[in-house]
Structure 1
Amino acid sequence: MTKFEKKKIIFIPNSLEKRKSGLLEGFSKEFQDCEAFFITNNKVTKDTSRCIGYISKKDAKDLKSLNGGQWVHINPLNCSVTLPNAHHDKILKVYYELDVFGRIHRIQPNTMDLGVYFQELISYFRNKRVISHTNGTKSLKELIALFIIKFLDVVLNIINYKKIIKYSSTINYFGESCMLGKWLLLSLIRRENGPKIINLLVSIAFDLMLGLYIIKYFIDYEKDVLFFIEDIGEVAIVTLKQLLNYLMGSPIGLKLNHAFNHALGLFFFYNINLWKLFIQGLYPMLLNYLQYLIKSGVFGFSFQLALISDILSLTTFHVYCIYVYAAKLFQLQVKSIISLWRLFIGRKYNPLRERVDSCHYTQHQLFIGTLGFTILLFLLPTTTLYYVVFTTLRLVFMIVNGILYRLRYLLRCLPIYVTLLWILNSSTLAGNLELEFRQFENDDNLSVNVKMKSLPFRTSLGIFKPDVIEPIDGLKWGAVVHKLFTGILI
């Protein structure tokens, strides 16, 4: 479309009633390059407070004395438009679908030069719905919803009070559910985000059905499931012990410090055996907990995923402890080696000024420093081996927990309803403008007809996702690599 040098634009509903004469509802707004007039009702009105002009078969010159010549005038006989202080050849008429613009959420920012004006029109309809509803008296249902929202605020404040509970996926899930319920109630009160609400309710229904199916499967194969879980726990402990036995030997032909390697292996064996005794003592309780885990499917499969994530963190806690020991030992050795290396070049770290300064060392200091540097350097490969192995296991469990979280996130905003609307080419997902010229007899105004097309599928998914659901931040691999090489816990 050619860019027009225009000074006046008027937006007219396609379904504007032309059989009656009367006032037109709408508003006008000054933009940087023009003045825009928006007719926001397809029927004539008697309310002068929101009036922008009139439609009449009489000529606009005959009606100027009634309105001071400041109102929009539309002649239904020849579809001509008269605007204040504008020539006919400087007026652009844009015909739009009123019912569609009352439902759509936004215009693509790169759709023609008229996108900003249509976005103003969409904002007007959205604000009009909100104002018309908030001006009325609150019903009993709304008062109950507001009370529930206040209660959810109190619960969220309690959950966020202690930072340590954020490490629990179940509590995090409960907090996310509270935020989602608060958003849902507020949207219902304001009568906003209709497609978002429907898509959320459809996703919740699918989540609940999937959870109920898991319950049915567990009831049918209860013994097999319990045997599989018990076998998995035993296999994990046996495999970890075999891994330690392998590391205490000569893994991949590495020549490690035998005494130090044996001492580390025995220490980690002690941790594993201690944790095995602890798990065996809690095993009956864990089986009962598993019963509740399965039955929690009535709250949805996503809630089961949160519980599974916590169980995984609990049952692999000994691996995390070994990783912490190995990481702290590796970090201590690396920092000590770096500090002792400064001794050879006559440098020393000054903690008061937080910088490295020159320093003169005595012979005894050089001897002890050289001895310590040599010992730590030759012990470093053994420590590094255990650190690399258990850091790898730590990353694997982090990735598994991340996958479980993303599955929960997907179940919360599964785009079933939005996908159906997009396939059916519903006007609810409209957002792309398609312009075509219109020509009327005895009309010198330039006229454009606007048709709405559906947004791209990916854009629709982003628009109709609940505002409070955000995916977890992924691992920042640059920071992770730095922590891996320095022994900082991840």
Structure 2
Amino acid sequence: MNSVFIFVPNTLDMDNIGFLEGFAKRIDDNLIFYVTSDKLLLEAGCTVGYCSSQTPYNMFTANDSEWLHVNNTTREFTINNINTQEYDDRFTIILYDIKAFSKCDITTFKLQKYGDQFNELRTALNKLSYKMVKPRFMILYIVFMFLIEKISEIFRKGKKICQYSSILLHSESSINTLKWIINSIQNSEIIPIKVYNTILSKVIDILIGFIALYIFFEYETIILKFLNDAAENIIYGLKNLLIFLMGSPIGLKLNYAFNTTLGTFFFYHIFLWKTFMQFIRPYLYSVFYILLFPASFGLSFQAAILDDLIKVCTIHVYCIYIYAARLYGLQINGLISLWRLFIGRKYNPLRNRIDSHQYSHNQLFIGTLGFTIFLFLLPTTLLYYVVFTVFRLVLKVLNLSLIYLRVLLQHLPIHSIVLWLIDSPLIAATIVISAKSEVDDIPVVLHATLKSLPLMHCIKSTTPSLNFEIPKIPWYQELKNIFIGKHL
């Protein structure tokens, strides 16, 4: 026999006469009555029954579906027009807190007992509570979404350029976030907590950004002088480092001619970069003040601008690292290939495997000579490669730190934490069911209350998904690339 459940507000007004607002539904072959208001209706609308001292058979015909009657004198529930052969005479009344369930936003009920039934109740209560509250500015929404789509299309077309600039990537992410917020508000019956978290995070981001801009304008001369000195110190620091490496660092005996050649080449590269910086310096201040416009949109934009400035100011370090990595990789691959010569092996590119091979005397002589040259030049190359690889790793860690800072500023769960601290029903999603009658009583009366989720579960459930992918570091592959000289 299938079961019958009746969900009734624990504050239902049963002292008067009127219609019960609600609906009936079948879930998993069970008949469920939902009373979705604790007030009685004077006129029949979306009703599921009636409350009076006597059963009003004249109001409901025999052809009507199942309906409830609540006796306002004895407080007894009766189900009419029910098929007794299909459903058991025994039914269960579940009393619930209508205020808590109508405000609840986290839907984890399906994992619990009566989960589907409670989820259906929560959805119905939210629609009834908010269907007349939220205005829909359709014209403004259409115009605004049209502009956002056009801006997003520009970013999509320039995707190859955007991937090299943090400020462009962050701007695209912000546009996508704004589009998600507008769609969520427009298409949802109730504004989700995820939207409140995102909006509040952006407000905090902008406030901190204004404080940072105020500090910048307050100490503008000092900060600009510091940035100029920092760029000069990077150049002079690299020059001193190259002078140190061109000598005998920590007593290493390096190939003098090769070491001098590499040091001179890198010196010339730094000289070109310094000349370029001196040439564009009069224009840098104008560009810097132009960048203050996106910086006014929050600290996350300022972090993206800082990331781009670091990349521009250290591009010569990156170039030197690439030169050293290519040279080191060439020598390592040469040594690996020539080592196979001594054991009579050869790489077969057609079958992608190592095959046996018989070398001639001339090939053995040339191969031995090349192996010796690569081997004795390797320590000098390795020294430059190790030093500038460390610089490259430091810059990558700094880049990832700024990315995580931007993500944190965009997804601060401040609203969720405050709701959890005040024990708001908005984040209550754990159902606690207690019996209000004996098991043998007919009907069985249960009382359902809501309990807040644990803090970490609440944060995970109310944190919006990212609109861009955070770069992940495959440490095994990165270490392998370092050893074989493949640039990071």
Task: Calculate the TM-score normalised by the size of structure 2.
Answer: 0.87
Distance in 2 separating the partners of 1:291 and 1:382: 44
Query: Which is further off, 477-486 or 9-18?
Result: 9-18
What is the aligned partner in structure 2 of residue 115 from structure 1? 115
What is the aligned partner in structure 2 of residue 103 from structure 1? 103
The amino acid that maps onto 1:15 is T
The amino acid that maps onto 1:142 is M
What is the aligned partner in structure 2 of residue 147 from structure 1? 143
Change (3 A) 1:67 1:291: same
What is the aligned partner in structure 2 of residue 17 from structure 1? 13
Q: Is the 8 A contact 2:167 2:308 kept in 1?
A: yes
Distance in 1 separating the partners of 2:298 and 2:199: 12
Distance in 2 separating the partners of 1:221 and 1:105: 46
The amino acid that maps onto 1:101 is F
What is the aligned partner in structure 2 of residue 28 from structure 1? 25
What is the aligned partner in structure 1 of residue 359 from structure 2? 361
Change (3 A) 1:121 1:469: farther
The amino acid that maps onto 1:117 is Q
Matched, 1:187 2:188: no
The amino acid that maps onto 1:164 is I
Q: Is the 8 A contact 2:411 2:463 kept in 1?
A: yes
Distance in 1 separating the partners of 2:328 and 2:31: 69
Distance in 1 separating the partners of 2:35 and 2:110: 24
What is the aligned partner in structure 2 of residue 234 from structure 1? 232
The amino acid that maps onto 1:95 is L
Change (3 A) 1:88 1:443: farther
The amino acid that maps onto 2:176 is M
Change (3 A) 1:63 1:441: farther
**Same amino acid, percent of matched pairs:** 35
Task: Calculate the TM-score normalised by the size of structure 1.
Answer: 0.87
Change (3 A) 1:39 1:249: farther
Q: Is the 8 A contact 1:26 1:41 kept in 2?
A: no
2:173 to 165, 172, 176: 176
Q: Is the 8 A contact 1:56 1:74 kept in 2?
A: yes
State the Cα distance separating 1:100 from its structure 2 match: 2.3
State the Cα distance separating 1:51 from its structure 2 match: 4.9
Change (3 A) 1:378 1:143: same
Q: Is the 8 A contact 1:435 1:451 kept in 2?
A: yes
What is the aligned partner in structure 2 of residue 451 from structure 1? 449
Count of aligned positions = 480
What is the aligned partner in structure 2 of residue 333 from structure 1? 331
State the Cα distance separating 1:290 from its structure 2 match: 2.9
- Gapped runs of 5+ residues in structure 1? none
2:77 to 80, 97, 103: 80
Distance in 1 separating the partners of 2:71 and 2:383: 87
Matches within 5 A, 1:200-219: 200-219=198-217
Q: Is the 8 A contact 2:68 2:77 kept in 1?
A: no
Query: Which is further off, 254-263 or 165-174?
Result: 254-263
What is the aligned partner in structure 2 of residue 274 from structure 1? 272
Q: Is the 8 A contact 1:436 1:450 kept in 2?
A: yes
Q: Is the 8 A contact 1:293 1:307 kept in 2?
A: yes
Q: Is the 8 A contact 2:196 2:415 kept in 1?
A: yes
Matches within 5 A, 1:255-294: 255-294=253-292
State the Cα distance separating 1:56 from its structure 2 match: 4.9
For residues 370-400 of structure 1, what are the alpha-carbon distances to aligned partners after superposition, in whole Å with 9 as ceiling and x for unaligned? 2212221222222222222212111111111
Q: Secondary structure at the match of 2:296?
A: helix
Distance in 2 separating the partners of 1:467 and 1:75: 50
Q: Is the 8 A contact 1:214 1:297 kept in 2?
A: no
State the Cα distance separating 1:318 from its structure 2 match: 0.7
